[in-house]
């Protein structure tokens, strides 16, 4: 028999980050396998299957095709890992369970004695409710669109301590949406979202704003993949691999975002960073010009600042939903609060600080008509709200870029 098949089995997989995780674990041939429902059974009969992960919508559909199902997976009612062993049989497991527990533990969220609300009723929900029970939850309410507990009667669960999202709401590319408003759960002390792209969904951005401990689904994805690899190759992988691979993915997928006064050097530093890191630099102002078909001074002169700000918001949203980029913004991007979640959801934000006396004003409509000291006095609190770090840019561009990259490598996993 030739090379065995390893990969992720699902219907639509364009957003998946599973391949880089498994390749980091040494499974170089791991790939995405998209199948329609009618193709599932025939595919699972293939003798060259080595190991598969299974995702939406097939976590329950594959079970009748498996010869041996692990007791824990049977109890959960969902599988996400399949291995064809030497005896020719398909063995099925649920490694999502281990991933879920590691995600919760890593976030410092305890289910013991707590009431948990689980959003969604699919395969991931089955795992979440089984693990919440195992971890000691005193009560579990599963919210579905049309069940006894649904989104129209959430008020009956306002006493929930933990909210777990197992729905795809907020997943890339349809970002910015949340299945619930956390203010409906005034006693909430923990939020878990199995979505991992973007890193901070609208639900998690709200949890962050409210000061509630939370986690995205990437730690779960990594930990379940490590457990799956153990089944694939019948080996033990040290726990330290979870953190190593998680840190690597955080660094590779998080955006570097540059903000700062007009003329502070965002374009120059952005291109220096692109050369240093090999990342693509996306200039929001360039995207605005391409969209409008005219220069920024012409937009201001012909249409006014409100039209420009709306275009800026749209292009910032487009750039911010991407991953692993360098995003260069206009000096006034901080004037519209809507831009913060777009930039923060996948990014670490750097304010470039440069002496106001050397800032150029050519081609910058507001800089030419406003005292820069007055402009900075107005915007300084906005920059402070947006930024994760402030970087001095009064020296050489290469030095500034290197300082940003050092900080990013150190803090991208925060």
Report how far residue 246's alpha carbon sits from residue 413's, in angstroms, rounded to the nearest whole number.
8
Task: Decide if 294 contacts 285 (C-beta within 8 A).
Answer: no
Report how far residue 151's alpha carbon sits from residue 178's, in angstroms, rounded to the nearest whole number.
12
CA 341 to chain CA centroid, Å, is 12
Task: Decide if 177 contacts 183 (C-beta within 8 A).
Answer: no
Task: Decide if 198 contacts 345 (C-beta within 8 A).
Answer: yes
Structure tokens at 405: 């990259």
H or E stretch covering 312: helix 305-320
Q: Is residue 335 annotated as part of the catalytic site, yes or no?
A: no
Instruction: Give per-residue burial for 136-164: e unless 16+ CB within 10 Å, then b.
Output: ebeebbbbbeeeebeeeebeebeebbbbb
Burial class (CB in 10 A: 0-12, 13-18, 19+), 247: middle
CA 42 to chain CA centroid, Å, is 33
Choice among 4, 12, 59, 335 that is catalytic = 59
Task: Decide if 36 contacts 61 (C-beta within 8 A).
Answer: no
Structure tokens at 341: 């979640």
Task: Decide if 95 contacts 231 (C-beta within 8 A).
Answer: yes
Q: How many other CB atoms are there within 10 angstroms of residue 112's CB atom? A: 8
Structure tokens at 214: 């939370």
3-state secondary structure 317-344: HHHHCCCCCEEECCCCHHHCCCHHHHHH
Catalytically active residues are 59
């Amino acid at each position: 028999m030739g090379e065995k098949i390893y990969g992720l089995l699902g219907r639509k997989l364009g957003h998946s980050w599973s391949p880089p995780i498994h390749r980091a674990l040494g499974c170089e041939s791991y790939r995405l396998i998209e199948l329609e429902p009618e193709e599932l059974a025939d595919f699972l009969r293939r003798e060259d299957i080595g190991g598969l992960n299974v995702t939406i919508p097939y976590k329950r559909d594959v079970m009748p095709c498996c010869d041996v199902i692990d007791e824990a997976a049977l109890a959960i009612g969902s599988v996400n890992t399949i291995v064809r062993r030497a005896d020719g049989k398909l063995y099925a497991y649920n490694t999502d369970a281990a991933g879920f527990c590691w995600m919760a533990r890593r976030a410092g969220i305890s289910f013991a004695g707590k009431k948990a609300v689980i959003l969604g009723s699919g395969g991931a929900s089955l795992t979440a409710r089984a693990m919440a029970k195992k971890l000691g939850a005193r009560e579990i309410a599963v919210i579905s669109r049309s069940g006894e507990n649904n989104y129209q009667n959430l008020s009956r669960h306002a006493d929930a301590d933990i909210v777990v999202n197992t729905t795809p709401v907020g997943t890339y590319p349809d970002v910015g949406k949340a299945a619930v408003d956390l203010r409906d759960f005034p006693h909430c002390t923990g939020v878990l979202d199995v979505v991992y792209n973007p890193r901070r969904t609208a639900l998690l951005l709200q949890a962050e704003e409210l000061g509630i401990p939370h986690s995205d689904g990437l730690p779960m994805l990594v930990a379940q993949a490590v457990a799956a690899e153990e089944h694939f190759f019948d080996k033990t992988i040290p726990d330290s691999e979870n953190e190593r691979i998680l840190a690597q993915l955080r660094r590779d997928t998080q955006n570097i975002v540059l903000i700062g006064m007009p003329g502070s050097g965002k374009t120059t530093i952005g291109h220096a960073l692109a050369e240093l890191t090999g990342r693509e630099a996306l200039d929001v102002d360039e995207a605005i010009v391409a969209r409008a078909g005219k220069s920024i001074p012409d937009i201001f002169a012909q249409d006014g600042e409100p039209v420009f700000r709306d275009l800026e918001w749209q292009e910032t949203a487009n750039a911010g939903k991407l991953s692993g980029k360098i995003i260069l913004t206009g000096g006034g991007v901080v004037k519209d609060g809507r831009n913060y979640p777009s930039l923060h959801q996948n990014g670490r934000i750097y304010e470039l600080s440069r002496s106001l006396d050397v800032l150029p004003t050519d081609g910058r409509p507001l800089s030419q008509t406003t005292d820069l000291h007055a402009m900075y006095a107005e915007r300084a609190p906005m920059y402070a709200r947006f930024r994760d770090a402030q970087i001095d840019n009064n020296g050489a561009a290469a030095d500034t870029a290197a300082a940003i990259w050092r900080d990013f490598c150190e803090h991208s996993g925060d």
